Structure 1
Amino acid sequence: MKLNQLTSLVAFLGLAVCAVAEDKPAANDGWVSMFNGQDLSGWKSNEETPGSFSVENGTIKVSNGRSHLFYVGPNGDAKFTNFEFKGKVKHMPGSNSGLYIATEYQDKGWPEKGYECQVNSTSHKDPKKTGGLYAVKDVLDTAPVGDDEWFDYSIKVEGKHITISINGQVTTDWTEPEGWDPATALKNMPGRKLSPGTMAIQAHDPKSVVYYKDLYIRPL
């Protein structure tokens, strides 16, 4: 191998290592991996629709019908108040899902506690799209990302302030008002309120297929 070829190879490998490092935050920065890429350890599905969550090629595949996959952590009692979350998401055409925050495990139905950070492609009939805080501060009609492409999904909760970013761009910036009464403000969603809780991934309907990977959380 010629010297210039060897130099180019070393430079390429250096860039590849940097890229991997960027995708996997350092533990000493407080980031905790939520998904090992091999199985659903640390997660608990309510199995409302059996088989809605599986591991495929290092990703969590969401399909088959309504169910929710709750993050319980290594000790089964994961709970967060102030935190940052980041992960990679890909929704296929006509697909709907969501990431719940400040929630808790329940056997069936849409989670009654916490907020849903929407994951929903432009081609799905629901007008509330990816990057919105469902029914509270929505992104309407057009998703900020296309179908069948990986994108970065970030959530930050600090005090009563919720920020959602897609590919580094803020799509939702909302603060829960003092005296917030979701039973009055949202009618059918009385549990939409910040409190210590965990996260959950939503399987929405039989036609929706969504993938998640590189999931990390950092308490603040």
Structure 2
Amino acid sequence: MAKHLLIFSLAGILTLTNLFLIPSQKEVRLFDGKSFKGWEGDTLTTWRIENGSLVGGSLVTKVPHNDFLCTQRSFSNFILKLKFKLSGTEGFINSGVQFRSKRLTNPAYEMIGYQADLGDNYWASLYDESRRNKTLIGPDAALVKKILKPGAWNDFEVRAENRRIRILLNGQQTVDYTEPDESIPQSGLIGLQIHGGGKAEVAYKDIIIQELP
């Protein structure tokens, strides 16, 4: 009888333990390194695939306007990791990662929503694209200067957890922002930007997302 009670007790403990376990979400690659599967945008003139990377813009001719390559589905809470390399020869050299965003209809090439910004004076800051049109929070310039690898591959991470947003550059947190405006949508597309107005080129690779509860 004691043996049976022990087995029953252990089974009960395991059952209770499983009830309180939160299933871990797997990391998923958003870009397969060889196709635009899962993405949409101007893949004829602005965006291309080179050496396993998504590349936008040009170092030869000026990018006429902002352009975005977007996921075909929306995301709410997540950890997004990727590598980027931004370079340019003339004009405004800037890019960024849109999230919790949507495409506009006028102009159709623009997006509205949060942007983890990239470029001089904007590195690893949080910008509100086509909505409040301002930097919501910026990093310490000395920190960015210390950790940024200009013209080389950099690790970039966006953590969006409910109304809290954090950005990390090469493993160092640059901003920590909590959205006070409850009318701002907290779900939407992820988009890769090449900013207009400069001879600039951006490349993104190893794009991985882990969705959170």
How big is the shift at 1:139? 3.6
Q: Which runs of 5+ in 2 are unaligned?
A: 1-23, 128-134
Question: Which deviations, in whole Å up to 9, do the C-alpha atoms of 1:43-84 show, x marking residues without a partner?
Answer: 000x3x951110011111111422111111xxxxx1211111
Aligned equivalents of 2:115 and 2:140: distance in 1?
A: 15
1:148-163 superposed matches below 5 A: 148-163=151-166
Select the residue among 172, 177, 181 that pairs with 2:175: 172
The 5-angstrom pairing of residues 22-33 of structure 1 reads 30-33=26-29
| CA deviations over 1:71-99 (Å, ceiling 9, x no partner) | 11xxxxx1211111000011114631110
CA deviation after TM superposition for structure 1 residue 111, in Å: 1.2
Aligned ranges 1:135-150 → 2 under 5 Å: 135-139=135-139, 144-150=147-153
- Matches of 2:182 and 2:97 in 1, distance apart? 21
Aligned equivalents of 2:87 and 2:162: distance in 1?
34
| Rg comparison, structure with higher value | 2
Aligned to 2:125, what secondary structure does the other structure show? strand
Q: Distance in 1 between matches of 2:69 and 2:175?
A: 24
Matched-pair contact (CA < 8 Å) for 1:97–1:204 = yes
Deviation sequence 1:99-133 (CA, Å, 0-9, x none)? 00101234524312x2011011x3xxxx3x22100
Distance, in Å, in 2 between the alignment partners of 1:57 and 1:176 is 37
Residues 140 and 170 from structure 1, CA distance in 2 versus in 1: closer, same or farther, beyond 3 angstroms? closer
Tell me if the contact between 1:93 and 1:147 (Cα under 8 Å) persists in the aligned partners. Answer: no
**Structure-2 separation of matches of 1:147 and 1:41:** 30
Runs of 4+ in 1 over 6 A off after TM superposition: none
Counterpart contact for 1:86–1:155, Cα < 8 Å: yes
Q: Deviations 1:118-166 (Å, cap 9, x if unpaired)? A: 011x3xxxx3x22100211124766541322111100001110000001
RMSD: 2.2
**8 A contact 2:163–2:186 mirrored in 1:** no
Separation in structure 1 between the aligned mates of residue 193 and residue 54 of structure 2, nearest angstrom: 11
Q: Structure 1 stretches of 5 or more lacking a match? A: 1-27, 73-77, 182-192
Aligned length: 167
Matches within 5 A, 1:30-69: 30-45=26-41, 47=42, 51-64=45-58, 65=63, 66-69=66-69
Using the aligned pairs only, state the percent identity.
Answer: 28
CA contact 2:103–2:110 (8 Å) conserved in 1? no
Q: Distance in 2 between matches of 1:165 and 1:54?
A: 26
For residues 201 and 139 of structure 2, what CA distance do their matches in structure 1 show?
20
Residue 115 of structure 2 is matched in structure 1 by: 116
The yes-or-no answer on 1:133 pairing with 2:132 is no
Q: TM-score, normalised by structure 1?
A: 0.69
The residue type equivalent to 1:150 in the other structure is: W
**Greater relative CO, 1 or 2 (CA 8 Å, sep 6+):** 2
